[in-house]
A and B are shown apart, each in its own frame.
Chain A
Amino acid sequence: MTTAVLRAGAWPAVAGLSGLAAVVGGCGAAFPAAATVLLPICFALLAAAAAFTLDEPASAVVDVTPTGAGRRTTIRAVALLAPLAAGALVMLAAAVRGQALPWAAAGLALAGNVLLGFAAACVARTRTGEPGAAVGTAVVLALMAPSLVPSIARWIRTFPAPGTGGPSSDPVWWTVLAVGAVAIAISVGGRRLPRWTSRVP
């Protein structure tokens, strides 16, 4: 059962996005001056990779099988190891290159990014079988908002930059972790069937 659920995952998307994130993050590690721009992009790609873990092209069939949503989501969560490993690799490379990043905050941001993508996918999965593309886009745009809209950067920071200037990213990610965990629990516990499928009596 576990193997079948895992095999049906959108592995090319998850692995491809994680790999691309590792390349972008690797450039950030290689060019320390660009790290504050490239590492947030890397983490946003990892969040997008996490958003694709729940994609199920055969959802119309799978969602009415006796295997519960909780079990399927738990098994699919194994795929989160790919973005997490890619992020850890990038942070290790940056540390080896001697970058002075706040590592605890960066680790928290990595976990928060991946959980944000996964939680958003869990919520969207109650409505559609393949939430990855839409959720991935939404998550990426939300995470890149401080870089894209100048006034947002004054209030919210999604990546911990070296130095003490500006707001900290920690409160954002602690909040995301807490809200994300609750959202996952609620969406998995009370998952509704997609609108187009009829309920089994």
Chain B
Amino acid sequence: MTTALAPARPGAVARRATLVPLAAREMRRFVLNPLFLFAVVMAEWITWTGGGGTATEIDEVNGYPAVFLGGFGMMAAFWLTRSMRASEPVAGVTPTSRPARTAALCWVAIVPFCCGVLTLFGFLHAYPAGDAVYGPFSPSARIAVLVGQIVVPSLGGPLLGVALGRWVRFPGAAFVLFLVIFGWVELVTIVTLWHQDSWPATVLRLFSPFAFFTVQADSGGVTAWRGSPWFFIGWQLALCAIAVLAALLRGAEGQVRTRIVRALGIAGLAALILLVLAATGGFTHAVTA
């Protein structure tokens, strides 16, 4: 009896052979970006020093890694993507397609993602999961809050930067988007402070790549707002998928383009469902502990 082994498709092997060196090259460029290096140093410094160790609730300090690894990472990835714009006439005639080059750029998000994981451990070192600063959340929900506020923004920010760099010509788009997201998060958090049990306010707060889940209560405890941290992670991951697909769509042709558009529709629908689940799940009203 003989066994026939199906050989790997030559196209897929060739694509992988091209993608790996391209991704490694882009990763090296990203890691050497001064803005990203600064962001990593700041995020790790704030994390491992525990933000001064004076936090009375976790949201006082865990927004900073998202700002540095996610926000600054987005700007670095945007510059990295735009830096190839001048050489597009030359790069455009090479056998490597633009979606393949975009895919290589998307792989650089692994670096800030790993930094985000490291930061998560730093936070758990400074503020263990059993600490009162997390409020009334269950132990698993506490981890979900940290993952959604530290690890996933570190992955999503650079991916958003790549998509932005592929689609927007304006060279200042990254810092504008950074300020807009920063302002939006602050605004909807303040709206939530006024209407803590309101469902629309919860949807607005979670309709963002980053959201706060707790606030210092007047009584001295920690108040946890409505919303499910686990489903919020799902919403964030759906946003990451949308960013990758939107980036890949630029320059895609024929059947690949059709597939990406279809996948974008599915990802958009999944994001919508996960947002609704995030807003309806978790506590049904603000709880203080």
Contacts of A141 in B (CB 8 A): 175
Residue A92 is within 8 A (CB to CB) of chain B in the complex: no
A85 to chain B, nearest CB (A): 19
- The distance from the CB of B275 to the nearest CB of chain A, in whole angstroms, is 22
Q: Which residues of B contact A (CB under 8 A)?
A: 42, 46, 51-52, 64, 67-68, 75, 170-172, 174-176, 178-180, 182-183, 186-187, 190-191, 193-194
Residue of A nearest to B178 (CB): A140
B37 CB → nearest A CB, Å: 14
Q: Please, how many angstroms separate the alpha-carbon atoms of A74 and B155 in the complex?
A: 44
A24–B52 Cα gap in the complex (Å)? 31
Q: How far is the CB of A38 from chain B (nearest CB, A)?
A: 5
Closest beta carbon of chain B to A178's beta carbon, Å: 26
Top 5 nearest A-B pairs by Cβ distance? Answer: A133-B171, A37-B186, A34-B190, A41-B183, A137-B175
Within 8 A of B (CB), among A105-151: 130, 132-133, 136-137, 140-141, 144, 147-151
* CB-CB nearest in chain B for A143: B179
Name A's B-contacting residues (CB within 8 A).
Answer: 12-13, 16-17, 20, 24, 27, 31, 33-34, 37-38, 41, 44-45, 48, 52, 130, 132-133, 136-137, 140-141, 144, 147-151
Q: Is the interface of A mostly helix, strand, loop or mixed?
A: helix
- Asked if residues A20 and B176 are in contact (CB atoms below 8 Å), the reply is yes
| Chain B interface, >50% SS class | helix
Residue on A with the closest CB to B170? A13
B182 to A137, Cβ gap below 8 A? Answer: no
Q: Bound complex: CA of A164 vs CA of B207, how far in Å?
A: 35
Can you name 20 A-B pairs with beta carbons within 8 Å? A12-B170, A16-B170, A17-B176, A20-B176, A24-B179, A34-B186, A34-B190, A37-B190, A38-B186, A41-B183, A133-B172, A136-B175, A137-B172, A137-B174, A140-B175, A144-B182, A148-B64, A150-B46, A150-B52, A150-B64
Q: How far is the CA of A169 from the CA of B193 in the complex (A)?
A: 28
Q: Which chain B residue lies CB-closest to A38? A: B183
Compute how far the CA of A31 lies from the CA of B67 in the bound complex, rounded to whole angstroms: 23
Are B172 and A17 neighbours in the complex by a CB distance under 8 Å?
yes
**Residues of chain A lying within 8 A (CB to CB) of residue B170:** 12-13, 16
Q: Are A33 and B64 in contact (CB under 8 A)?
A: no
Beta-carbon contact of B190 and A33 below 8 Å: yes
A144, B179: Cβ atoms closer than 8 Å = yes
Q: How far is the CA of A191 from the CA of B142 in the complex (A)?
A: 57
B193 proximity list for chain A (CB < 8 A): 33
Contacts A137-B174, A148-B64 hold; do A45 and B190 have CB atoms under 8 A apart?
no
